[in-house]
Amino acid sequence: GQQLNQSPQSMFIQEGEDVSMNCTSSSIFNTWLWYKQDPGEGPVLLIALYKAGELTSNGRLTAQFGITRKDSFLNISASIPSDVGIYFCAGQPSMMDSNYQLIWGAGTKLIIKP
């Protein structure tokens, strides 16, 4: 099935650094979602985006729905230890035959260097 390209695959950062990750698609999407998965738990929704160009914040997290509708970005400012985990993007394609199912990225694993 269709896939999203999520990058980077993993990130090693120092506490206090800003983090950026993104998801791209070859086709247009109507909705972009960003989830976080803590170790040993299920993914939890962080931010939902529904309009091209939309910029939405949730605390230190900011996500954007790309103008082309083919990408989305997630930024985390001033990272802290509890930010570690896997971040997933997910999107709903605008294709008529998409069956309304979400397409998922492979995840970005965030690791904070001691």
User: Which CB sits closer to other proteins, 15 or 94?
Assistant: 94
What residue ranges bind other proteins (CB under 8 A)? 1, 6, 9, 31, 33, 40-45, 48, 88, 90, 92, 99-102, 104-107
Cβ neighbors of 6 (< 8 A, separation 6 or more) are 21, 22, 23, 88, 89, 105, 106, 107, 108
User: Which CB sits closer to other proteins, 84 or 102?
Assistant: 102
Cα separation, 56 vs 82, in Å, equals: 21
Query: At its nearest, how many Å lie between other proteins and the CB of residue 44?
Result: 7
Cα separation, 11 vs 110, in Å, equals: 5
User: Which CB sits closer to other proteins, 66 or 107?
Assistant: 107
